[in-house]
Structure 1
Amino acid sequence: MPILRRTLDGLYALAAGLAALSLLGIFLIMVAQMLLRQFGVQVPGSDDLSAFLCVATTFLALAATFKRGELIRVGMVLERFPPAARRGAELLALTLAALIVGYITFWTGQDALFSWEIEEVAQGTVPFLLWVPKLAMPLGAGLLLVAILDEWIQVAAGLRPTYVLAAEDRAARGDFSAEV
């Protein structure tokens, strides 16, 4: 099991790293636009590329954010249950989350596949192939689905969810930044 745990945690970290690179890309595009504007030069396709990177940043960060307990969840309700009922409610919440994220993963994957099949391109100044940026959605949502199922298995085995432990660890250190 440790090799599977390291592999999953590595995937979550890799996706978070790619999200950070996407965010850096947005920053660099904006700086380039700002600097080149002084010389009357525009960066072709910069608006489209920034939008694509924004979507990639959001979706690729989902799994790592979930595992760190930094996504909005129903914790305020679940914390009120006694431990036995809390486990059942947590499993129910994770099951519903898995169903919803599975649905999102499937349909965003279908959309990316359809864009690839018809060779859909962006209508902006640069005809980007749209299946490439659309791929970030099913990949990020799919990895979030894996993270949710990962937590479901832990909770079903009687362990406390990783996201709860991470939130408790932050609170013990006096870090309430994720709670704001």
Structure 2
Amino acid sequence: MASVRRVLDAAYAAAAGLAAASLLLIFLVMMAQIGLRQFGEQLPAADDISAYLCVSTTFFALAATFKRGELIRVGMALDRLGPGARRVAELVALSLAAAMVAYIVFWTAQDTLFSWEIEEMSQGTVALPIWVPKLAMPFGAGLLLVAILDEWVSVLRGTRPSYVLAAEARAASGDFTAEV
């Protein structure tokens, strides 16, 4: 079981790394655009590339953000429940979240596959196959689904969710930045 945990944690970290790389690439594209403007030039498709990278930044960061307890979560009702009722409520909430994210994974995968099948190209100054940047959506959402199911199994086994433990650890250290 420890090897499965290492693989999952590595996948969450790798996706977070891809999100960070996407964010860095947005910065580099924007800086290149600014620099080229000084010489009366433009970086072709800079806006399109930045938009695609924004999507990949968002979707690749979802699983790691969820596991760290940094996604928006309203725990006011859960915090007032006893341990048994809270466990049931967490399982219900995680089940609903898994169902919604599975729906998102299915339809984003369908949309990506359709773009690939019809050989859809971007409309910008540089024609790019649209299915390539769209891949971030089903992969990122799929990893979020895995993370939700990972937490569901943990709660079912009677352990506290990692997102709760992470939020409590931040609060205990006086770090309320994720709560703002």
- Aligned match of 2:41: 41
d(CA) in 2 for partners of 1:170, 1:151:
19
Letter in 1 for 2:131: W
1:60 aligns with 2:25: no
- Aligned match of 1:116: 116
d(CA) in 1 for partners of 2:56, 2:73:
22
- Aligned match of 1:174: 174
Q: Percent identity?
A: 72
- Aligned match of 2:138: 138
Instruction: Give 5+ residue unaligned stretches, structure 1.
Output: none
d(CA) in 2 for partners of 1:79, 1:103:
28
Instruction: Give 5+ residue unaligned stretches, structure 2.
Output: none
d(CA) in 1 for partners of 2:125, 2:77:
48
Q: Note the alpha carbon deviations across 1:94-149, whole angstroms, 9 max, x for none.
A: 00000000000000000000001111000111111000000000000000000000
d(CA) in 2 for partners of 1:32, 1:134:
24
d(CA) in 2 for partners of 1:77, 1:127:
50
Worse overlay, 98-107 or 166-175: 166-175
d(CA) in 1 for partners of 2:49, 2:75:
36
- Aligned match of 1:128: 128
Aligned residues: 180
Q: SS at 1:42's partner residue? A: coil
TM-score normalized by the length of structure 1: 0.99
Q: Note the alpha carbon deviations across 1:51-99, whole angstroms, 9 max, x for none.
A: 0000000000000000000001131221111111100000000000000
